[in-house]
Amino acid sequence: MKWTAGRGGLSLAVVAALAAVTACTSSPQPQEDADRTAAPASRPALLAAERATERAGSAAVRSSAVMGTTLSLDATGALGWGDGLTGTLTITYTGGTTAETMRELGITTMEARYLSDAYYARTGEAFAARTGGKHWIRYAYADLQGLGAGANFADQMRNITPDRSVRLLLDSDDVHTVGEETVDGRPATHYSGTVEIADVSDSALKEQLEQAGVTGETVDIWVDDRDLLVKKVEKGRTTAGEYRQTAHYSDYGTEVAVEPPAAADTADFTVLLEEQGGGSTP
């Protein structure tokens, strides 16, 4: 079962594409309130939003991301975070050099399934023809540590939650209330602030951002009357160029049920590398 994309070509393209989603939405564990530096006027509302979103446990997600000239994509689906990450995203690659690589492999849209120990990527018919008819690739979180995507990559993949932006704003001392607006037909309060990475209190999140070359972000969030995050926009710059990620959240508490694909239709990422002669992750 040989594949011809060049050593690691598909694996790195797929992982980079998913990393663009997770890097803008991954979430560390909550910090103690005393560690937070948000402006006093906004702190109570932000803390309420953080807690309500965490308690909800799941939501429908609709997002878009642009990472310089490397990648732009759209993603839709539903995610749960009550006990680790579970859920499904449909990811459409809309532009950038990574999307060009994916198109060469016959992939423009990909389904990703998140489970407790791994995520699964459905690569489509064109690539299945190169893998003995198998449509899915399994990426064990433990195996992703060797991809050069940062020491916390596996944690990023396991911890996608919509309150990450709230937690960033709680580390900012210039948060202000923009005003009341309507988002997806619902009234919401708009908060905005600039976050200096040097001020981020969570060490794992700080390391993740530093590895991406981020020094600061502009973060905007919209919170509804139930203290739930309904929209967020993050903007900044990394070593790969400017990035912008927008996400809309709805249907909090929605049921999230996900099953691994059939084993007979699944190829393991590390096995694909070995069969191509790579031996180990690049």
The answer as to whether 117 is a domain residue is yes
DSSP string over 195-233: EEGGG---HHHHHHHHHTT--EEEEEEEE-TTS-EEEEE
For residue 161, the SS3 value is coil
* Of 128, 104, 124, 101, nearest in space to 112 by CA: 124
Going edge to edge, which strands form the sheet with 229-238?
Answer: 176-183, 186-196, 216-223, 229-238, 241-250, 58-67, 71-80, 86-95, 109-114, 118-122, 136-140, 266-268
The pair of structure tokens assigned to 269 is 């990422």
Q: Which of 44-48, 199-203, 252-256 has the lowest mean pLDDT?
A: 199-203
The answer as to whether 70 is a domain residue is yes
The pLDDT value recorded for residue 127 is 78
The answer as to whether 132 is a domain residue is yes
pTM beyond 0.95: the answer is no
Model pLDDT for residues 190-206, shown as the tens digit of each residue: 999 998 888 887 776 77
The answer as to whether 3 is a domain residue is no
The pair of structure tokens assigned to 25 is 């939405």
Bridge partners, 77 (sequence order)? 61, 89
The answer as to whether 21 is a domain residue is yes
What's the mean pLDDT in 220-240? 91
What is the number of other CB atoms lying within 10 angstroms of the CB of residue 166?
Answer: 29
User: Torsion-angle region of residue 189: left (phi > 0), alpha (psi -120 to 50) or beta?
Assistant: beta
The answer as to whether 261 is a domain residue is yes
CATH of residue 89's domain is 2.50.20.20
For residue 258, the SS3 value is coil
User: Torsion-angle region of residue 244: left (phi > 0), alpha (psi -120 to 50) or beta?
Assistant: beta
The answer as to whether 176 is a domain residue is yes
Mean pLDDT of the chain: 78
C-alpha torsion 43→204→89→76, nearest 10: 30
Largest interatomic CA distance in the chain: 60
* Of 96, 92, 66, nearest in space to 233 by CA: 66
- Sequence-distant (6+) residues with CB within 8 A of 83 are 116
User: H/E/C letters for each residue in 100-158?
Assistant: HHHHHCCCCEEEEEECCCEEEEECCHHHHCCCCCCCEEEEEHHHHHHHCCCCCHHHHHH
The pLDDT value recorded for residue 16 is 47
Number of helices (H) and strands (E) in the chain: give both, helices first: 8, 12
Model pLDDT for residues 261-280, shown as the tens digit of each residue: 999 999 998 888 777 655 44
Range(s) of the domain holding residue 13: 9-275
Model pLDDT for residues 143-186, shown as the tens digit of each residue: 776 655 443 444 555 445 677 788 888 888 889 999 999 999 99
What's the mean pLDDT in 62-91? 87
The answer as to whether 4 is a domain residue is no
3/125 Cα distance (integer angstroms):
13
The pLDDT value recorded for residue 151 is 39
* Domain count within the chain: 1
The pLDDT value recorded for residue 180 is 96
The pair of structure tokens assigned to 207 is 């390391």
86/78 Cα distance (integer angstroms):
9
